[in-house]
Structure 1
Amino acid sequence: MTEEQVLADTRHWLEKAVIGLNLCPFARSVYVKNQVRIVVSQARHLDGFLDDLDRELDLLVNTPADQIDTTLLVHPTLFPHFDVFNDFQNVVDDVVAEHELEGVIQVAHFHPDFQFEGTEADDVTNFTNRAPYPILHLLREDSVERAVASEGGDAESIVARNLKTLRDLGTDGWQAVLQKP
């Protein structure tokens, strides 16, 4: 698959699911202002992907938010198994700490087979963190705090609303949302 296809699939997911279903109520504003950076890693191994993560963290913190507010670091092939990707999050947390960015940058992760602990693989609530490819979403903490405050200051209510949206939608509805024209 080409980088262009990965970018197109990622944008489609952002537009139809994340923004279209309002799963992230603050995504629309940064997306329409072109402040979302999407990077497709071509790393052939984990060390190369960590180098990409290092570069993207540095770029994000050294670029004004009105230019790049958030970054999606996508790797379409390096993490075919969710368990490996999920375990890798500990390494990602260590990298953020090495850059002394705790409290500055947070990382959300998405995977085609994402599964919350304690849920069945086919539980529709897992889809809140499902994406077409494994993605590390690098978020500025201050941007997240402002966005949550603008939504009433309660991140848990956003999560609860998302779970309800997906339960109401169901698996078939989710698949319909992601259908390409």
Structure 2
Amino acid sequence: MTTSRPDPLAATRAWVETFVVARDVCPFAGREVARGSIRTVAVPALDREAALLALFDECRHLEATPEVETTLLVLTEGLEDFDDYLDLLEIAEALLAEQGYEGTFQLASFHPDYVFADAEPDDPANFTNRSPFPMWHLLREAGLERALAHHPNPEGIPERNIAAMRELGHATLARVLAALRGTD
């Protein structure tokens, strides 16, 4: 039996609600989900230049729309290979700085095959940055700074998440992500 690929935006929203918020991976996401201030945009990345232009369209959208706190740019096709994704991410981050957005916006990166530089591929800790589809999370730095200022232990968030992911284990986390991607 073949299953059809889920809608990348619906899968991403489900991941945010059932994984990121439900497991408190990002202690600030629940508030933004409740406020409806997360924008989710599909961006095909077969044309790298067009994907980068979409990133800057979203920067301008955030500048013009203060009620939107953050944008998830779901890279729907063209960046399935993690190394290709990292190459374009590096360019995107350099262009953000070059275009004067450093200090205003930053990118958080997510990919189904995300592996931290110092981690083994099967380390459950990688799931803190694994998402159903490749994604750039465009964040307002001011909003992030406000949220961090009100958190009792912002420095402890990564360690807490790593411990939680390792407790769940690679097999469980892989099943959750596969279900969201429609590949289980």
Q: Same fold (TM over 0.5)?
A: yes
Distance 1:81 1:44, change over 3 A: closer
- Segments of 5+ residues of structure 2 without an aligned counterpart are none
Following TM superposition, by how much is the alpha carbon of 1:61 offset from its aligned partner in structure 2, in angstroms? 1.9
Q: Which amino acid aligns with 1:132?
A: P
What's 2:110 paired with?
A: 110
CA contact (8 A) 1:16 1:177 kept: no
- The 2-side partners of 1:176 and 1:84 are apart by 24
CA contact (8 A) 1:115 1:126 kept: yes
Q: Which of 62, 65, 71 does residue 64 from structure 2 map onto?
A: 62
- The 1-side partners of 2:137 and 2:19 are apart by 15
CA contact (8 A) 2:45 2:77 kept: no
Distance 1:176 1:151, change over 3 A: farther
What's 2:41 paired with?
A: 39
Following TM superposition, by how much is the alpha carbon of 1:125 offset from its aligned partner in structure 2, in angstroms? 0.3
- The 2-side partners of 1:159 and 1:139 are apart by 17
- The 1-side partners of 2:158 and 2:137 are apart by 17
Of 142-151 and 33-42, the range deviating more from structure 2: 142-151
What's 2:93 paired with?
A: 93
Tell me the SS of whatever aligns to 1:7: helix
Aligned length: 176
- The 2-side partners of 1:175 and 1:121 are apart by 12
- The 1-side partners of 2:105 and 2:42 are apart by 20
Of 30-39 and 40-49, the range deviating more from structure 2: 40-49
Q: Which amino acid aligns with 1:165?
A: A
**TM-score, normalized by length of structure 2?**
0.89
Tell me the SS of whatever aligns to 1:47: helix
What per-residue deviation string (whole Å, max 9, x for no partner) do you get for residues 38-91 of structure 1? 000135410111111110111112211xx2000000112110111111122221
Kindly report the root-mean-square deviation, in angstroms, between the aligned alpha carbons of the 2 structures. 1.8
Following TM superposition, by how much is the alpha carbon of 1:15 offset from its aligned partner in structure 2, in angstroms? 0.8
Q: After the TM superposition, which parts of structure 1 deviate over 3 Å for at least 4 consecutive aligned residues?
A: 175-180
Tell me the SS of whatever aligns to 1:147: helix
Q: Which amino acid aligns with 2:160?
A: R
Percent of matched pairs sharing the same residue: 38
- The 2-side partners of 1:76 and 1:105 are apart by 22
CA contact (8 A) 1:41 1:49 kept: yes
Equivalent residues in 2 for 1:2-81, closer than 5 Å: 5-64=7-66, 67-81=67-81
Of 121-130 and 79-88, the range deviating more from structure 2: 79-88
- Segments of 5+ residues of structure 1 without an aligned counterpart are none
